[in-house]
Amino acid sequence: MNHRLVLKSAMFGAEACALLTLLWIAIHALIVRLLLAIAMCGALLSAEIYFVFLLARQLWRWSERITSLVMPAMARSIQPQRKGGPRE
């Protein structure tokens, strides 16, 4: 078995346990809970903004495709204008 992989896994486990312990200690303080809630809201808001951006970009691409399909049909339905304009 690869010793480097075992050491890497052990370090990951130790770091995860240390971070969970620090989080457990920090949650008991009111100000830390408030800051964590604000940070979580900020992260979720940024994820929602990114999702809306992706959705808007996809809608823009779809509208471009629909427009490219509709415009030739519209161009054929409009008769060309006369150069002289309307006669009196």
The residue with greater pLDDT, 75 or 40, is 40
Q: How confident is the model at residue 38 (pLDDT cuts 50, 70, 90)?
A: very high
Asked if the model's pLDDT at residue 68 lies above 60, the reply is yes
Q: How far apart are CA 48 and CA 40, in angstroms?
A: 12
Q: How confident is the model at residue 79 (pLDDT cuts 50, 70, 90)?
A: low
Based on the structure, what is the number of domains in the chain? 1
- Would residue 35 count as lying in a domain? yes
Residue 74 neighbours by CB under 8 Å, 6+ apart: none
Provide the residue range defining the domain that includes 61: 3-75
- Would residue 63 count as lying in a domain? yes
pLDDT digits (tens, 9 = 90+) for 52-67: 999 999 999 888 888 8
Side chain identity, residue 31: I
Residue 42 neighbours by CB under 8 Å, 6+ apart: none
